Structure 1
């Protein structure tokens, strides 16, 4: 999700939230903008103890304040299974994202770790205030802005799960995995039951512009298809004007399906099909 110019695979996402309340404003793609601070991820290699904290409680729910941090899995380098803050324990619409386990990529081992506001808010706040990110996500400002964006997902029914992307022990990206068929997006394309949508931003400047976004998009889309057997497709909706974004999705195994008019943008509907995953 290799582009013609891999330097454009920057990793700032933009997705409409005008009528769904959980995603960024204008798409799911990448923009070649530059940021101001890459120290957040360059110096944040996690110790074993912190990896245990990122794991969350096994099968439990949290309040969003990070109070219940759980214990590590018995296997070194793995995360304990958990669910995101506020997700219903008995009605998870996304098959327990926190328990999906690792996605092995050419760039390293990636874990999707459900966000806990008390633990992760400061990091996400820094990322959202990077001008290259803020231009598309529109969540710059005080921490309360990001906190409210997360809270809408925590307080929902589990149809959207915010996650940190932790690559080889380093939190370096932010993901939203959501039920596209239950989202307002479904009003704008012929949705199928259990279609799964993704939003992504890459937090550190040093991780942008080198094809990493495409690598991670492919890995996470395949992880969705492996862990959600009822989902035949992974969808995304980058702004049609954002050629680097569309290129990144294409090189990540997605196909261009159609142009769709969404609130605030005309989008390229990108789809990764289970039936075509070995061909693209």
Structure 2
């Protein structure tokens, strides 16, 4: 699980939006802001089963029996691990242009993502500023991981302009803090360039990506996110994107607004 709200303004002078990102979580906990413990290391069987406090998504190890029964067969069939093959989702038309999620290619995309993470408006929320290795380790853990989180560039009209993480919220620390349902899918978003913030792009792209998730993941009934409750522009962006405010939840490092976009309500909101 990564940050709590990522930069994407909704209007002139708006503060950076954290549309899902890195905070300290326990399973059933997630966020776009704050530092989180990404320390590696073996977990005991008890910790693995309970997703112990203070662990981030990428630190959590799925039980071997789960991998054997559900993950391995999907890989053998050529399917993306747990997220229905994000690389095949393709482009989608939005009010702001043609948009596509393109999985991060570490060797090619690391400099761009690292530059975005070192933006002073972004750094406090994603906690990935600093050395080349810090951002690389974060990306590599997802790319080489078990498929619960897929890092992507958001490409608008041919230009990479945002960073996304599509993740299994029901297998994330966030699930400890709300009544998760199987296949709930979470999103984290960072609008990369300052010139792209404050123009309403966040709302338009959040709606487009939420609809992509629902279209490409038939087993998923809900898309979820957890922006900081005090980040009014972020919450407003989710509301404008067809999410509903479901609850206030106490997460490590913040009080969050649990935002949900429901499949059954997508035609009404």
TM-score range, shorter chain: 0.7 to 0.9
* Aligned partner of residue 264 in structure 2, secondary structure: coil
Q: 1:148 aligns with which of 125, 137, 147?
A: 137
Q: What is the aligned counterpart of 1:26 among 13, 26, 33?
A: 33
CA distance in 2, matches of 1:271, 1:24: 15
| 2:114 is the counterpart of 1:159 | no
Q: 1:11 to 1:108 in 2, by over 3 A?
A: farther
**Counterparts of 1:181 and 1:108 in 2: how far apart (Å)?**
31
Map of 1:158-177 to 2, 5 A cutoff? 158-177=147-166
Deviations 1:199-232 (A, max 9, x none): 0000011110011100000000001000000000
In structure 1, distance between residues paired with 2:116 and 2:163: 9
TM-score between both structures, scaled by the size of structure 1: 0.73
Equivalent in 234, 245, 269 of residue 245 of structure 1 = 234
Q: What CA distance in whole angstroms lies between the structure 2 residues aligned with 1:232 and 1:113?
A: 23
Cα offset, 1:19, TM superposition:
3.7
C-alpha contact 2:17 2:231 (8 A) present in aligned 1 = no
CA contact (8 A) 1:139 1:145 kept: yes
In structure 1, the residue matched to 2:53 is none
Report whether the alignment pairs 1:190 with 2:179: yes
Q: Which runs of 4+ in 1 moved over 2 A?
A: 5-21, 23-27, 87-91
CA RMSD in angstroms, aligned pairs only? 2.2
* CA distance, structure 1, for counterparts of residue 155 and residue 143 of structure 2: 20
Cα deviation digits, residues 98-130 of structure 1 (max 9, x gap): 100112101101010000110000000110010
**CA shift at 1:17, angstroms?**
4.1
Q: Distance in 1 between matches of 2:251 and 2:16?
A: 23
Count of residue correspondences? 217
**8 Å contact kept, 1:180–1:191:** yes
Partners of 1:12 and 1:234 in 2: how far apart?
16
User: Distance in 1 between the 2:255 and 2:96 partners?
Assistant: 32
Q: Secondary structure at the match of 1:275?
A: helix
Q: Distance in 2 between matches of 1:178 and 1:263?
A: 19
